[in-house]
Structure 1
Amino acid sequence: MRAADLGLLTSVSTPTVHPGGSRAVVSVTHPSLEADAAVGQLWSIPLSGHAAPRRITRGFRDTAPRFSPDGRLIAFLRAAPKAAPQLYVVDAAGGEPVQVTDRTLGVSEFAWAPDGRSLAFVSREPEQGRYGTVEGIDPNAEPARRIDTLKYQANGLGYITDRRAHVFLVSVPDVWAEPAVAPAPLADGSTGVKPGVPDARQLTTGEWDDGGIAFSPDGATLAFVSERHATRDTDLRSNVFLVPVDGSREPVDATGEHGSFSVVAVQYGLNGVLYVSAQDVGETGRDFVARNTALYAIDRAGSAPRILTDPETVDLTESDIVAYGDDAVLVRDRRRGALVLTRVSSSGTIERLTDEATVVSGVATAGEVIVASIADATTAGDVALVTDAGLTRLTDFSRDLRAAGVIAPRELTVSGRDGYPVHGWVVVPEGEGPHPVLLDIHGGPFAAYSPALFDEAQVYAAAGYAVLLCNPRGSAGYGQEHGRVIRQRMGTVDLDDVLAFLDGAIAEVPGLDGERVGVMGGSYGGYLTAWTIAHDHRFAAAIVERGYLDPEAFVGTSDIGSFFSDEYTGTDPERMRAQSPQAVVGQVTTPTLVLHSSADLRCPLGQAERYYTALKRNGVEAELVIFPGEDHELSRSGRPRHRRERFDIILDWWARHLPSGSNRV
C-alpha cells in the first residue's frame, strides 16, 4: 500500500441484522481523495445462499444502519458534504429515504423504540446566537463566552458548554405515504405550511451532556449516561440514569450511590436486566490510569449493580453491549492487541467466540445468528458470520487494497531488559534487505497496536522500511498491572521495553539493518519518541507527532488537562519535570521532524511549538509542520488530502535522513 492508495482503505460499521436472520446491513466508507472527505453508503449482505453484497443507498455519507424491530424499516444517519449528519428512515426493501431530523448540529446516535413507532436520538442543542442559529452571525461575531468550569472544550468539537448533548424522541414517519409537497403561493401572497421533518420532543435538559441511550424491553424507560453530580467538573465519574419515555418524571440515577463509576456503555438484556460497563475510578473519582472496564448487571430497578467480569483480566473499554439470548450479552474484550468477541451470561459465565488474531469492531444478532464486523492482517474491514466453527467471511471489501500490496505482520515477543515479555509485530518489506528500521510507538498510553491491517505500517513497508510495532508496559490488553506500572513513572520501563523490542527484533528477524534505525510516534508515542531521543542517540532521525511533550503546560490548555497530567505524571513540580521531554530537550541531538495540527485540543499546538523552538535554539536539525484545520485525529480521520500529504512529508523526511532502496532523495 502506498499513500496514493488511501482511498482503498475501506471501513465497515457495526452491522445490523434483519430480525428474520436473512441478511445484514452495514455502512461501508472510505477516504475519498476526490471529495476530500470520508464517503460511503449502506450495503446489504446476504447471510446464506450465493447472492453478492450490494449497495442499497446512494448518499454522500450514510452510516450507522439499524433495522426496525419488525424489520420493515432501516434507520441510519446521512451527512451531505460539509453538513452535520441527520436521521433518516427507508423501506428495508428499498426506496427513497425519508428525513426524520433537521438538527442544527446534527444527530450523533439513535435507538429504535421496541414498538418501532418512535426513535430516540442524541443531539447537541446550540445556545441561541451561536453555531449558525442566527443567519449572518459567524463564529467571530458571536458574543463572548464566560467560562467558569474546567471542562469546557473537547478535541474534534471545540467548546461544549454552549451546546450540550441531550436526548430527544421523535415519531417515525410513514415512508409509504404520499410525499408532502411545498404549496404554491396564492394571489394574496400567502402560502400554506411548508413540509418539514416531524417534531421531536426533548427528554433531557441541563448543563451536562447525555448520551449512550438504550430502551427497556417494554419501551417505557430510556437509560442513558450522564455526569449530573455536583463534582462533575473535578472528577471523571458518570452514571446511568433512567427516564420514563412519557416524561412523567425526572431522570433517576441508577448507579451513583453504588460505586465510583465512569460508565462506558449501557444496554438492556432481553430479560429486562440492565447491563452496564464501567471503570471504577476510585475514591477520588479521578483514578483512571489503566483502569479496565468491567461489566455489571442491575437485575431490577433500585438494585445494586453486580459485577460480572474481572477488571484485571477482561477489558471492555472499546466495547458496546449487545443483547444475546434470554440471559446474556455480547461484548468485545481488549486482549493482546485484539478485540475478542465474548459472551457473558447474567451469572458471569464467559465464553470466547473469536481468537486473538482478529479485531472485532462491531457485532449484531437476530435470534441465534451473530454477525460481526472484523479486521485482521488481510482486511481493513469486512463482515463475517460467527459460528461454532469460527468466522465465515461474507465480504471482501479489501480486495483492491490487497492487490495494491499488503504485507502480513510477523508476531514477536522479546525478553525485556528486566526479563519482562514485550509483545508486538514486525512488518518486513519484500526483498532480502537489509532494510532500515522504523520503531513506531503507539499513543494512549493505555492503548495498543493490533494484528489488524495498519495503513501506516503498510505505507512505510512499501517504501522499504521494516516497521516495529510493540505494546510496552503502559499499554492496554495485558492486564491492569501492565498498564498502571508507568503511573507517575513515565519514561522508565516503557522506554526500556520499546528499546528491548527494537534490539530483539533486529536480533531475531532476518533482513533488518540494526545500524540504520529511526523512531517515530504520535500523542503518547510522540512523548516516548521525544523522551527516547533525549536518552538514546543511535537513531538517524525522529518524528514527534501531536506529542504530549510538556506535562506542566498541558494543564489548563488541553481538553483533558484538568486531570491527565495529575494522574500520569503527578502534581509535584520536580516529579513532573523528571518525566517531561521538554525538560530534557537539551539532551537531544537527533534530527527531528515535529508534526502537529492547528486545531488539536488534546495535545495543543503549543506543545509542539515549544519543543520545536527549543530544538532549533539548541542547534538541532529540526522542522515543524502544522496542518491547518485538523485536530488530534488527523492520521486516522483527517481530510484525505491532508492524510496523503502527511504520508508524503513523513517519507520525504525518511528519504533525507534514513533512505531505503525505494525511498531516497
Structure 2
Amino acid sequence: MTTNGLSAQDLFEFSFLSDPQLSPDGKWVVFVKKVINEKEKYQSNLFLLHVDSKETTQFTQGNFSDVQPRWSSDGQYIFFTSNRSGKQQIWKIAFNGGEASQVTTFKRGASQPVLSSVGNKLIVTVPLTASDSLEDKETKEKTEEKLKPYITTNLVYKSDAKGFSDETFDHLVLIDLETGTQTLLTDGQYNHHSPAFSPAGMHVAYSANRSEDPEQTFFSDIYQLDLATNDTEKLTSSDKRFYTPNYSPDGTKLSLLGDDLEYTGATLTRVWSLDLATKELSCLTSEWDVECHDVAINDMGTGAASAGAVWSKTNDALFFLASELGSTHLYQVTLDKQITKIVGGKRQVYAFSTDKNQDRFVYAVSQSAAIPGDLFVSTLSGSEEQRLTTVNEHLLETKTLSAPEDFRFKANDGTELQGWIMKPVGFKEGETYPLVLEIHGGPHAMYSHAFMHEFQVIASKGYGVLYMNPRGSHGYGQQFVDAVRGDYGGIDYDDVMVAVDYALENYDWIDVSRLGVTGGSYGGFMTNWIVGHTNKFKAAVTQRSISNWLSFYGVSDIGYFFTEWEHKTTVMEDPEELWRISPLRYVKDVQTPLLILHSENDYRCPIEQAEQLYIALKQQKKPTRFVRFPESNHELSRSGDPGLRIIRLNEITDWCDQYLK
C-alpha cells in the first residue's frame, strides 16, 4: 500500500525542540533545536525567539552539541554546555551576539550550568576520580594505550548511559565569574546532583546519596552548603528520594520532588516543601493521586532535565508538571495543598520556564498527529495561549497523518483502562486492514497524547495501530501503577489482551486474521510473553527485550535491585518464580513469527537476552530473524544513531509486510 504518510526516512527531516528558557525580562526565549545533518548525525544549536514578534534566530552555529542554555541574571549572557572543544564544557555568549567563549577546561568536561541570582557565580557539575585535580585540563592529544583488563570490585560497575564505569563521580564546582577562581564544593565517592543557589547566593542546596553503601540504598538526601563557612548540613533523614531542590524567593524554604519508596520504583513522585528553619517537610500533593513528573513517552527527543517545582514570586505556591490520564500538564499547588491546572489539553507539556516577574510561561508541547514538538506561551493563569514555533510544519503539511482516537474500556475486573487507536493512512470505509499492537516499556511509564513518529510510519504502511496503558503504567494513580509488581504476565497481560478484544469488537475495519504485536524493554518482555501464551498474533517484533529473569538479575545494570522491586523476590530466594515468569520457559509454545531487534551495547536489557531467545527459536526451526545494532544502547529508538533508527523502523514494517499483508 503506497500512501503519502510519514516514512522512516522522514526522520532526517524533523527538528527536535527542547529546554526552552525564558529571559529574565520575559521578552526572549533561548531553546535547543536538534537536527540530523548531512552526515546523518545529530547536531544541536541554540536558537533565540522574540516572544512578541515570534521571530526566531539561530544563535550558535556549527556541527556541535550545544545544550543546556541558561541566562545570566541580568540577561546579558547565555551560558551553555557544548562539545566544541572536544569534551562537553561550559561556554558563554553575549546576548547581543559575538563569538562564544569557553568558561571551563576540565580534564573530563563539565555540564549543567547553574547561575546565582547576583550573576557573578556559577556552579557546574564535573566528573572526577579520586586522583583528579581541578587543575587537570582537557587535552586533545590521543595516546595509544596497551590492552589491559577491566577490573572492578564494585556492585555497580556499568550503566546503559555510560558503559563501564571509569570510577568517576559527579562533583559540584563553584566558579567566580569575576576572578575565575574555581572551588570544589563536594568530596568523596558519591554523585551530587541538581545544585541550586539561594536568592542571596550564599548557600547551595543539592541532592546526593552519601550513605555508607550508595549501591544498595536508594534514597537521596538534600544537603545545604554555606559558602561563607564551607559548612554542609544534611536537611533530610535518609528515608526518601529527593531531587531538584529550588529555593523560595525569600530564601526560607526549598521545594523538592521526591517519594518515600513505599512502592519501590512504582512510587508516585510528589511535590514537597522543606522549611529551612524548622526542617519541617510537607508533602503538598499527598492527597492527590497523580504522578508529579512528566512520564509520557514519545520518540521525538524531548527529554531534558526537570525544572522541578518552581516557586511563585509570592512564596506561597509552586508550578510543576504532572502526568494524568494520558496527558502531561502544568499545575500549581499552594502551600495549603490547593491544586490548579494551569495548562491543560490532550497533549504532553514536556518543559516549561517563566520570567523573573512571572508575567508569562513558555512551555514545550508534543501533541497527537499535529505537533512533534513546539513552543507555546501563555499568561500565569494559562489564558491567552499563543503558539510560538512551527518547526516541522514544512514536513507535516506535505504528509497525510493518522490522528489517534482515544477510548476507554473495562478490564476483566472492572477497572477503567485507556487506549488509543489509529487508522491506516489512506483508510477507506468498507475495507479491512491489519492491526499492530504497540506495548510501552517501563513498565512505569505512560503512553499519551504525544506525537509518535514510529506509530505514524506503521500507519503509513497500511496498518492500524493500537496502544494502551495496562496496569503498571503511570497516569491512573498509585494502586494502578503498583498493581503489576509481583504479577508480570498476569494482570498486565490480561489488560493488553482485553484492549485487543475491545478493538476487534468496536472497529469493524480490523482484520482479526492479521494482527501484529511489538514492544520494547518491558514491552519486549510482554511481546515475548504474549507469543508464548497465545497464537492470536500472526507477526511479532520484540525489541530490547527480556526473555530470562534469572540471567537478567546479574547482567542488567539495574538487575540486582529491579528484579526484587518488580517481582518481590530474588534469584537466591525463589529462582523457580523468576523462571515461571520468564518468556524463555514458554518458547516451545511460540508459533508466531518473531523478529528480534537488540542493541549490542544495551546494558539495561543486555543482548544475551535476545541471544537466548533467538537460539531457542532457531533450534526449533521456528520463523525468526535476529537484528543486532552495533554501538547502540537501550535508547536506540529515541536517541540512537539516525541511520540505525531508520533501519529499525524499516525492519519492523518489512516483517509485518511479510506476515500480515
Match of 2:70 in 1: 66
Note if contact 1:276-1:297 (Cα within 8 Å) is conserved in structure 2. Answer: yes
Aligned to 2:301: none
Q: Give the counterpart of 2:51 among 47, 50, 74.
A: 47
Deviation of 1:51 after TM superposition, in Å, equals: 4.6
The residue that corresponds to 2:367 in the other structure is 376
Q: 1:399 to 1:204 in 2, by over 3 A?
A: same
1:468 corresponds to 2:460: no
Match of 1:167 in 2: 172
Q: By how many angstroms is 1:103 displaced?
A: 3.0
Q: Give the structure 1 partner of residue 413 of structure 2.
A: 418
CA contact (8 A) 2:130 2:189 kept: no
Unaligned 5+ runs, structure 1: 175-197, 660-665
| Contact preservation (8 Å) 1:155, 1:631 | yes
CA deviations on 1:473-499 (whole Å, 9 max, x unpaired) are 110111111111111111111111111
Output one character per residue of 1:519-554: Cα deviation in whole Å (capped at 9) or x when no partner. Answer: 000000000000011111011111111012211111
1:233-382 paired onto structure 2 within 5 Å? 233-246=215-228, 248-256=229-237, 260-272=239-251, 273-282=253-262, 287-301=263-277, 303-310=279-286, 313-318=289-294, 319=306, 320-327=308-315, 328-366=317-355, 367=357, 368-377=359-368, 378-382=370-374
Residue of structure 1 equivalent to 2:658: 656
* 1:392 shift after superposition: 1.6
- Secondary structure of the structure 1 residue equivalent to 2:565: helix
Say whether residues 1:226 and 2:208 are aligned partners. yes
Q: Give the match for residue 122 of structure 2.
A: 119
1:195 alignment counterpart = none
Shift in CA distance, 2/54, structure 1 to aligned 2, threshold 3 Å:
same
Change (3 A) 1:122 1:220: same
Shift of 1:127: 6.2
CA offset at residue 107 of structure 1?
A: 2.5
Correspondent of 2:83 among 65, 79, 82: 79
Distance 1:68 1:6 in 2: 35
2:560 paired residue number? 562
Pairing 1:209–2:208 present: no
SS of residue in 1 equivalent to 2:655: helix
Pair 199,632 (structure 1): closer, same or farther in 2 beyond 3 Å: farther
Instruction: Kindly provide the CA deviation profile for residues 147-199 of structure 1, in whole angstroms up to 9, marking residues without a partner as x.
Output: 2x32222212023361111111123379xxxxxxxxxxxxxxxxxxxxxxx56
Once the two structures are superposed, residues 449-507 of structure 1 have per-residue CA deviations (whole angstroms, 9 ceiling, x without a partner) of: 11111011011111111111110111011111111111111111111111111121232
The amino acid of 1:608's aligned partner reads A
Equivalent in the alignment of 1:178? none
Shift of 1:201: 2.2
- 8 Å contact from structure 2 (residues 435, 515) kept in 1: yes
Q: Note closer, same or farther for the CA distance 1:132–1:55 as it changes in structure 2 (3 Å cut).
A: closer
TM-score relative to the length of structure 2: 0.90
What letter is aligned with 1:383? L
Q: 2 CA distance for matches of 1:380 and 1:140? A: 47
1:449 alignment counterpart: 447
Structure 1 position 143, deviation (Å): 6.4
1:551-573 alpha-carbon deviations (Å, 9 max, x no partner): 11111211101100112122222
Compute the displacement of 1:312 (Å).
5.6
Indicate how the Cα distance of structure 1 residues 102 and 510 shifts in structure 2: closer, same or farther if over 3 A, else same: farther
Could you tell me which residue of structure 2 aligns to residue 145 of structure 1? 151
**Residues in 1 aligned to 2:474 and 2:532: alpha-carbon distance in whole angstroms:** 25
Check conservation: 2:255, 2:310, Cα contact below 8 A.
Answer: no
Q: Does structure 1 retain, via aligned residues, the 8 Å contact 2:54–2:389?
A: no
1:3 paired residue number? 8
Does structure 2 retain, via aligned residues, the 8 Å contact 1:428–1:467? yes
8 Å CA contact 1:223–1:240 kept in 2: the answer is yes
User: Would you say the 8 A contact 1:322–1:363 is kept in 2?
Assistant: no
Distance 1:541 1:311, change over 3 A: farther
Which residue in the other structure is 1:386 paired with? Answer: 378
In the alignment, structure 2 segments of 5+ residues that lack a partner are 1-5, 295-305
Rate the CA distance shift 1:420–1:578 in 2: closer, same or farther, 3 A: same
Aligned to 2:535: 537
Partner in structure 2 of residue 408 of structure 1:
403
CA pair 255-608 structure 1, distance change in 2 beyond 3 A: same
Q: 2:250, 2:388 → 1: CA distance?
A: 31
Aligned with 1:621 (options 620, 623, 638)? 623
SS in 2 for 1:585: helix
2:321–2:328: 8 Å Cα contact kept in structure 1? yes
Aligned partner (choices 103, 107, 111) of residue 106 of structure 2: 103
Would you say the 8 A contact 1:13–1:64 is kept in 2? Answer: no
What is the DSSP-based 3-state SS (H/G/I as helix, E as strand, rest coil) of the residue aligned with 2:193?
strand
Deviations 1:570-623 (A, max 9, x none): 222222222211222222111111111111111011111111111112221111
Question: Matches of 1:543 and 1:537 in 2, distance apart?
Answer: 14
Letter in 2 for 1:394: L
Please give the alpha-carbon distance, in whole angstroms, between the structure 2 residues aligned to 1:170 and 1:217.
Answer: 17
Work out the number of aligned pairs and report it: 625
TM-score normalised to the size of structure 1?
0.90
Q: Alpha carbons of 1:543 and 1:232: their partners in 2 closer, same or farther (altered >3 Å)?
A: same
**Cα offset, 1:31, TM superposition:** 3.3
Following the alignment from structure 1 to structure 2, what is the Cα–Cα distance between the partners of residues 622 and 465? 21
Provide the alpha-carbon RMSD of the alignment: 2.2
Offset, 1:416: 2.2
Q: Secondary structure at the match of 1:422?
A: strand
Assess, with a 3 A threshold, how the Cα gap between structure 1 residues 321 and 582 changes in structure 2: closer, same or farther: same
Q: Give distance in 2, aligned partners of 1:438 and 1:311.
A: 38
Check conservation: 2:120, 2:177, Cα contact below 8 A.
yes
Q: Is the partner of 2:608 in helix, strand or coil?
A: helix
Partner of 1:427: 422
Q: Which amino acid aligns with 1:644?
A: I
Tell me the SS of whatever aligns to 2:643: helix
Answer whether contact 2:290 2:478 (CA < 8 A) is retained.
no
Is the 1:338–1:450 contact (alpha carbons within 8 Å) kept by the matching residues of 2?
A: yes
Structure 1 residue 126 displacement after superposition: 4.4
Distance 2:138 2:543 in 1: 33
Alpha-carbon contact 2:87-2:138 (below 8 Å) kept: no
Cα distance change of structure 1 residues 312 and 607 upon mapping to structure 2, 3 Å threshold? farther
In 2, distance between residues paired with 1:289 and 1:134? 41
SS of the aligned residue for 1:531 comes to helix
Answer whether contact 1:336 1:356 (CA < 8 A) is retained.
no
Change (3 A) 1:415 1:298: same
AA aligned to 1:78 is S
Aligned to 1:189: none
Judged with a 3 Å threshold, the aligned counterparts in structure 2 of structure 1 residues 653 and 354 are, in CA distance, closer, same or farther, namely same
Counterpart in the other structure of 2:59: 56
